[in-house]
Structure 1
Amino acid sequence: MDSNKKVPDQEAAITVPPQANGGGSNESTNTSIAAPASSPAFQPDWRFWLIYVSLALITFAASVDNTIVFTALPAIARDINAGSQYVWIANSYVIASTAIQPLFGQLSNILGRRNPSLVVVSLFAIGSGIAGGANGVPMLIAGRTIQGIGCGGIFVLLDVVVCDLVPLRERGKYLGPILAAGGLGSTLGPLIGGALTAVTWRWVFYITLPFSGLSLITMAFFMNMRHVRSKSWKQNLVRIDVPGNALLIASITAVLLGLLMGGVTFPWSSWRVILPIVLGFVGWAAFHAYQLSPWCQEPTIPPKLFYNRTSAVGFTLSFLSGVLLEWVVYFLPLYFQALKGASPLVSAVDTLPFNIFLIPTAAIGGIVMTKTGTYRPLHAAAYIFLSIGLGLSSMLDAGSSTAEWAIFQIIIALGLGCTFVTLLPAIQAALSESDVATATAMYSFLRSFGFIWGITIPSLILNALITNGLGTIDDAAVRAQLADGGAYEFAAHGSVQALSPVVRQQVVRLYTKAFRTTWLAALSFALLGFLLVFLEKHVELRTELDTEFGMEAREKGDDQEKNASEMATPFVSS
């Protein structure tokens, strides 16, 4: 199939390999891709578990690295005299880890899964070592950028490898524990960062090296996965979409630069914020036009991924899930700090109901999807829970009881957690196994991109509402502190509780109104997700594993494994 040409029947655009069931498939004929009744049950061997544990280890390390730097940042900035450049210690990592993800999906198709996996883990380790040994801001930013590239690749390739080793219907169940490792790492990151900074901030970066080393050793010796190799490196390099990747990375970097600088380094009205965002979106549109053109022989993001209604909806839901996850993570602590007078540490403790229920819910969602073979009811339930939880959160104020805000958090966690491991299999169900890598890379990229918008959108809403309501505050000095995007910093530093009773009441009232509108805005995103679920179609989740990237036979005499290898789907260039 030419991936650059749109077929007349979009719902029948994707076919499964003929080896799977002897013919094509589409969403309208669900039974055509159902597994035969005689399909053997998936039985992972010891090599699978070694690889699986190594993926969990590196996921944990990468997730720790995502959040560990925040508590250490003030100490780092003081020690190396970072000044105003300290923001790029974090931002360089975010930009690098997000913009690079689609490239790794394509590279894993061209070079196989093993070598790119070894490269990204090595980059992550090298970046950690450079950052830990940095003697100045440029060296630290360089280290964080290399770390970010490695981390972005890790988050793409770990999902790709699991999908290559596990049949589609089982994937949610096996993605859940790895997600739990990532969630645990993100939760422990700030605590580990605070403890290590008391000794030296350099161990904030060095702590990930043992995990990287163990994962590298395991992958090097046991991650022997099939793929049809090109005859030369030159043929491999020709297949890489260099113009497309260059345009996409530059465009996404420009957009992220504008979003990350807006309201922090420069006002949102500044041309330094507006220009990169506009140029980035123009470049992004040009990238997709190039992907559709006859000049692009092997697209980084094949347009056929979006020709299918179910996969296109799945990608959109993934973006919305990323937006809402970061929205909640960003705003819950702010509520406790601004209206409840909690310190940053206490506000983190107050969000435990959300964090405790998030990952178990994801695991349960994966198990239910494996047992039932359906995903649409899970998606609908997820966005119903999200809508209820976010709507109830708009009622929170300074007098809300512990039971209220705890229950509301749990309801939100039930919704978000259910989306974590059920969206990717739904996307892949509507596509062929040859699209696993590119579809997974797109899924991971959209979630990461959604995280940025999950901070940007509520920040814009909050600051606009606070600015418009400044006239209700009598104290001119307080008005000045809250103006020009100062609402978040004012609340985070505990300044609200230090005010006189009259002014504090005025400020709390203003924050309460702003929070209510912000939560209602989040509700609109959740309702949009719920409506989009009705556009999905049910596709049977395949129980057979038919991929060219499965495990290689370890011994030539192992006829059964050898035959499985020979029956793998032959590689066809897009």
Structure 2
Amino acid sequence: MSSHPPQDGVLLEEAPGDPGADSTPHVNVAAVFIGLMATMLLASLNQTILATALPTIVGELDGVDQMTWVITGFILASTVVMPMYGRLSDLFGRRPVILTAIGLFMIGSVVGALAGSIEILIVSRVIQGLGGGGLMILSQAAIADVVPARQRGKYMGAMGAVFAVSSVAGPLLGGWFTEGPGWRWAMWFNIPIGIIAIILVSIFLNIPHVKSKHMPRLDYLGMVLVAGATTTLVLLCTWGGTRYDWMSAPIIGLLIATVVLAVAFVFTELRAESPVIPMQLFFERNFVLCVLAAICVGIVMFGSLGYMPTYIQMVTGVSATMAGLLMTPMMGSMLIFSIGSGIFVSRTGKYKFFPVVGTLIMGLGMLLLSNLHPESPRWELLGALAVLGMGVGLSMQILTLIVQNTFPGAIVGTATASVNYFRQVGATVGSALVGALFASRLMSNLMEALGGNAPAGSGGGTSLTPEMVDGMPDALRLPIVTAYNDALLPIFLWMAPLGVVAAIIMSFVKEHALKETVEKKVEPVGADA
């Protein structure tokens, strides 16, 4: 029996047992997994459910120029809180922290459903993100509490499949709501799912948690600093080149603030009793490599996924529901290759191959998307999306598994949250940069294409909806379609090399044997019961 040094007053001990066993004493793994899948679905669905509804929403609320924040607001908020949720769940247990996250998410959904302006909608997305950030990482961390790393691949693959299904089910539902009862039902829809998730988590997520001998001080200063640094970085990427010139005083000020806050955060974490992101994590080679690769994956995945449904509607003229259906090849390939890679890892214990090849394929998918044009046949679009989904499916969940296999059980939540945090930083920066560049290039292209010929009710281009564009004569419609195409797809070409960079990074990962047992937390001798 092997043990690890105490972490926060808790001694870690590897429990002997059948390597193939999927459960731990007193815990029904299948029941736990049902609850965790529900929480993962709740969070992942809402990263994409507004994608097909977005053109209609911003047109109705007169907010095309603020379109970026409907997506970025959710991702930014979820990113900021990820490290905090991971650390809090390591200290206080998974269940109460997950229930808190679900509650926040449901509050944000109600606010969004009642929103009467684009500003209130953005606020609601921020509140949703504050809850959603916990749901995404805690569902992965809790699996590590009950399933050994060797068997965990198939579970992580299934979670990746949930994300894959959500990436298409979200746009489909968003399109159906938009064309049917109205886009606000994309918010109301979260309430019954949230209630189901609360019931499942309350009943089934009964993972034994042993309190430490003494309660460490929470790292409030670290929480504030990481939130501040993340926010200033996103503002820098969002406003640079759009609201302000890159060399303007506000942008330079944000750059300085980001650097100062990041440096202050590092020094704070080095001295904190219970740091949000322990700097010792970065002493592990595999963790650093996975973090760098996760940032690349986040930039590519969310930078493309958030805006493709809008592109499809405006350029091809299809309905919101059809735009969601056209994203199906990406979902299908993500689902197949995420589950398939997870099963293979569980059976063989080999995992390095998948993120290396997967990120290369991901870059190829971006290259194929960047070569589309308004006259491209439908199969080219579907094929490019399938290739992108294949790459993401092969790599995303394996990165988390590698990190979890690197650290002892007492800090699995923190380590899982940290690698997801950095992936979300990439996602946030990617979405912000793509959104800012897209909006800036689009408005410039529309002004050039339309000149003084903007149709009535379009707000000079800021209130265009897919229905409005589709009903225009070709003399007006074609310049607008070309403006959308030329505004977005060249950005995808600029992101394609990130797949190659991530593959090179992951080629240096050391492939350690996956752990055959689940680590248990036991109180040190003399600890209070």
Please indicate the TM-score interval, normalised by the length of the shorter structure: 0.7 to 0.9
Aligned to 1:557: none
CA deviation after TM superposition for structure 1 residue 325, in Å: 0.9
What is the one-letter code of the residue matched to 1:18? S
Give the C-alpha shift of residue 539 in structure 1: 0.8
**Aligned: 1:239 with 2:217:** yes
1:211 aligns to what? Answer: 193
Q: Residues 122-161 of structure 1 correspond to what in structure 2 (within 5 A)? A: 122-132=103-113, 143-161=124-142
TM-score normalised by structure 1 residue count: 0.75
Identity %: 25
Aligned pair in 2 of structure 1 residues 406, 245: CA closer, same or farther (>3 Å)?
same
Mapped contact 1:124–1:150 kept (Cα < 8 A): yes
Cα pair 2:355 2:506 within 8 Å, conserved: yes
**Counterpart-to-counterpart distance in 1, 2:263 and 2:424:** 19
Residue of structure 1 aligned with 2:81, choices 100, 103, 107: 100
- The alpha-carbon distance between structure 1 residues 106 and 493, as it changes in their structure 2 partners (threshold 3 A), is farther
Which of 275, 280, 294 does residue 253 from structure 2 map onto?
A: 275
Corresponding residue number in structure 1 for 2:143:
162
Q: String of CA shifts for 1:225-254, please: whole Å, max 9, x gaps.
A: 2333146xxx53x52111111111122122
Q: Deviations over 1:412-456 (max 9, x none)?
A: 221111112211111222333333111111122122222223234
Matched, 1:520 2:498: no
Cα drift, residue 151 of structure 1: 0.9
How many angstroms apart in 2 are the aligned matches of 1:527 and 1:178?
A: 25
Select between 89-98 and 436-445 the one with higher mean Cα deviation: 89-98
Cα deviation for residue 154 of structure 1 reads 0.9
Equivalent residue, structure 1, for 2:502:
529
Give the structure 2 partner of residue 109 of structure 1. Answer: 90
Distance 1:87 1:406 in 2: 25
**Aligned-pair distance for 1:512?**
7.3
Q: Check if 1:374 corresponds to 2:347.
A: no
User: In 2, Cα distance between the equivalents of 1:571 and 1:96?
Assistant: 41
Query: Post-superposition shift, 1:385?
Result: 1.8
1:428, 1:436 within 8 Å by CA — same for their partners in 2?
yes
Larger relative contact order, structure 1 or 2 (CA cutoff 8 Å, min sep 6): 2
SS in 1 for 2:28: helix
The residue correspondences of 1:257-406 to structure 2 (distance < 5 A) are 257-262=235-240, 271-292=249-270, 295-330=271-306, 332-333=308-309, 336=312, 340=316, 346-406=322-382
String of CA shifts for 1:514-550, please: whole Å, max 9, x gaps. Answer: 77753432221111111112211111111111132xx
Q: 2:3 aligns with which of 16, 19, 22?
A: 19
**1:221 is aligned to 2:188:** no
> Which residue pairs with 1:4 in the alignment?
none
Q: Give me the CA root mean square deviation.
A: 4.4
Give the deviation of 1:255 after TM superposition.
2.1
The residue identity in structure 1 corresponding to 2:202 is: A
TM-score, normalised to structure 2's length? 0.81
Query: Structure 1 residues 92 and 521, CA, compared in 2 at 3 Å: closer, same or farther?
Result: closer
Per-residue deviation at 1:321? 1.0
Contact residue 344 and residue 492 of structure 1 kept, 8 A: no
Query: Larger Rg: 1 or 2?
Result: 1
Given that 2:355 and 2:398 are in contact with CA atoms closer than 8 Å, whether structure 1 keeps it comes out as: yes
Partner of 2:397: 421
Residue in structure 2 matched with residue 3 of structure 1 by the alignment: none
| Structure 1 match to 2:511 | 538
The answer as to 2:172 corresponding to 1:199 is no
The CA deviation string for residues 449-483 of structure 1, in whole angstroms up to 9 with x for no partner, is 22223234445666888899999x8985589xxxx
Q: Distance in 2 between matches of 1:499 and 1:75?
A: 21
Unaligned runs of 5+ in 2: 6-13, 455-460
Change in Cα spacing, 1:108 to 1:321, as seen in structure 2 (3 Å) is same
CA offset at residue 341 of structure 1?
Answer: 5.5
8 Å Cα contact 2:87/2:413 also seen in 1: yes
| Deviation at residue 113 of structure 1 after TM alignment | 1.7
Alignment match, 2:10: none
Q: Which amino acid aligns with 1:125?
A: M
Residue of structure 1 aligned with 2:152, choices 171, 188, 197: 171
- What do residues 358-416 of structure 1 show as CA deviations (whole Å, max 9, x unaligned)? 12211111111111211111122212322333344444344544444433332222111
Q: Distance in 2 between matches of 1:396 and 1:251?
A: 36
After superposition, the Cα gap between the structure-2 partners of 1:189 and 1:458, relative to the gap in structure 1 and judged at 3 Å, is closer
Q: Could you tell me which amino acid in structure 1 is paired with residue 345 of structure 2?
A: M
Query: Could you report, residue by residue, the CA deviation over 1:472-516 in whole angstroms, capped at 9, with x for unpaired residues?
Result: x8985589xxxxxx8998999748985549x958995x9877777
Three-state SS of the structure 2 residue aligned to 1:547 is strand
Of 62-71 and 84-93, the range deviating more from structure 2: 84-93
Match of 1:181 among 162, 167, 182: 162
With over 3 angstroms needed to count, the CA separation of the structure-2 counterparts of 1:64 and 1:75, relative to structure 1, is same
Residue 422 of structure 1 aligns to a residue whose secondary structure is helix
CA distance in 1, matches of 2:493, 2:174: 34
Kept in 2: contact 1:376–1:536 (CA 8 A): yes
Equivalenced residues, count? 511
Q: Whole-Å Cα distance in 2 between the matches of residues 107 and 421 of structure 1? A: 22
Instruction: Report the residue type matching 1:147 in the other structure.
Output: Q
